[in-house]
Structure 1
Amino acid sequence: MTDILKAHVSINVRNVERSIDFYRRMLGIEPSKVRAGYAKFDVLNPPLNLALNEVPSLDSAGALSHLGLQVASTDDVLAIRSRWAKAGLVTRDEMKTDCCYATQDKTWVHDPDGNEWEAFVVLKDNLPETADAASCCSNGVCTTASA
């Protein structure tokens, strides 16, 4: 089997400079590459190649639901929330929430184009198949419309 070095996420953005500022503050690192209408962040932990591509307009819905960073503990979630808040980002918490057949603690931020990022820990996995735990992201429990 081939080893995967890192995940890659490419996001369309309306203003690459504004998005660079957001992701610089959210991730706490500088972009590894910046070109006209393009930026790339190489995140070491977790391994992630995040690309930002400037486009003239964004489709109203798109295929992307949200993006996330899974961590080991609630303390890690709270530490990330604290770092994001100190960087001037608006956070939203969901603690002890049932989502995707698991109980999780999470905190959220929106990027300048409305893409939602969560930092989360799974507290209890494999909950029974119930409406409350099944598809929270499709019914708006773990995501909200951006302003």
Structure 2
Amino acid sequence: MVLKPHVAINVKDLNKSVVFYTQLFGVEPVKVRPGYAKFDLEQPALNFTLNEGGEVSGGLNHLGIQVKSTEDVLVAKERLQKEGLATFDEMNTTCCYARQDKIWVTSPDGHRWEVFTVLADAEEKSNDSPVCCTLDEPKQIETDCCS
């Protein structure tokens, strides 16, 4: 049996979101209909759908794609920047009880996505990450948010 997680999110503007997620995932959606788009991803294995309308923030903190190495994080960063997306780096940071290297991008609806690798386990949830798992309110991630 093949297991593939499914994530469905609400978006304000389907067209803008399709462009963003095509850039993020590096593939076109397999289905686009009025108010709906579906990405059927192989890597990571994910059935990801966009539904236009409804509440977009809900209780979602952030989403992520875990990769094998810091090199893979940097390859993703380069690809996303070539697509015109602004990225925010967090290298050697503590987040969610792990030491990680990561980059962040933010969707048109404010959904925060990280591409990350875990370097080591950590005893603390977060002590040096300005955009990590402890944020009470989602915010737009910008390159100057730490200054």
* 1:14 matched residue in structure 2: 12
The code of the aligned residue for 2:73 comes to V
2:72 is aligned with 1:102 = no
* 2:55 matched residue in structure 1: 58
- Cα offset, 1:146, TM superposition: 1.6
Cα separation, partners in 2 of 1:106 and 1:129, compared to 1, 3 Å: closer
In 2, Cα distance between equivalents of 1:34 and 1:139? 33
Q: CA RMSD in A?
A: 2.1
- Cα offset, 1:139, TM superposition: 3.9
Q: Which runs of 5+ in 1 are unaligned?
A: none
- Cα offset, 1:101, TM superposition: 1.1
In 2, Cα distance between equivalents of 1:76 and 1:32? 25
Deviation string 1:77-118 (CA, Å, 9 cap, x unpaired) is 000010000000010000000111110000000011000110
Identity %: 51
Cα separation, partners in 2 of 1:45 and 1:130, compared to 1, 3 Å: closer
Return the match for 1:40 from 21, 27, 38: 38
The alignment partner of 1:137 has SS state of coil
The alignment partner of 1:132 has SS state of coil
Number of residue pairs aligned between Structure 1 and Structure 2: 138
In 2, Cα distance between equivalents of 1:21 and 1:104? 28
Higher helix share: 1
2:123 is aligned with 1:128 = yes
Cα separation, partners in 2 of 1:131 and 1:45, compared to 1, 3 Å: closer
- Cα offset, 1:132, TM superposition: 2.3
- Cα offset, 1:130, TM superposition: 6.5
Cα separation, partners in 2 of 1:123 and 1:38, compared to 1, 3 Å: same
Deviation string 1:114-136 (CA, Å, 9 cap, x unpaired) is 001100000002x2246628xx4
Cα separation, partners in 2 of 1:130 and 1:88, compared to 1, 3 Å: closer
The code of the aligned residue for 1:146 comes to Q
